[in-house]
């Protein structure tokens, strides 16, 4: 099964930026839909952004215009560029991959904290 390894989380001040990375193992990354989800304390996990193998993207309304998802198939990596971060963006961010079959795999999560 594919393994997802995330990096780039941390502590940032409001208005700052972070870039999350998710590196995937396996030879079929280019076929998969990739996504970022987040879960804040006491809240349900929510979709942040997705990108299909054909580069179709979706974003949560709360992050449109601030976050950008991208992928580098040659490096088996998906990114989430987060700009103009707000305290309400504080959450554990999870990388997800979805195979054409519908099977899913998740990363371990990385903490993003937006605070002054």
- Position 30 confidence tier, pLDDT thresholds 50, 70, 90: confident
Q: What is the mean pLDDT of residues 57-63?
A: 98
- Residue for token digits 């054409």? 100
Residue 29 confidence (pLDDT) = 82
Averaged pLDDT score across all residues of the chain: 95
Q: How does DSSP assign 35-91, residue by residue?
A: EEEEE-TTS--EEEEEE-TT--EEE-TTTTTTEEEEEEGGGTEEEEEE-S--GGG-E
Task: Report DSSP state, residue 25.
Answer: -
Span 64-103, pLDDT tens digits? 999 999 999 889 999 999 999 999 999 999 999 999 899 9
SS3 2: coil
């Amino acid at each position: 099964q594919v393994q997802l390894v995330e990096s780039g989380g941390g502590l940032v001040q409001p208005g700052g930026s972070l870039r999350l990375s998710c590196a995937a193992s396996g030879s079929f990354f280019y076929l998969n839909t990739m996504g970022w989800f987040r879960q804040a304390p006491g809240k349900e996990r929510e979709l942040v952004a997705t990108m299909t193998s054909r580069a179709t993207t979706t974003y949560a309304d709360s992050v449109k215009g601030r976050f950008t998802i991208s992928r580098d198939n040659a490096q088996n990596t998906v990114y989430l560029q987060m700009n103009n971060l707000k305290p309400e963006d504080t959450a554990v961010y999870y990388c997800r991959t979805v195979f054409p079959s519908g099977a899913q795999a998740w990363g371990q999560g990385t903490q993003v904290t937006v605070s002054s």
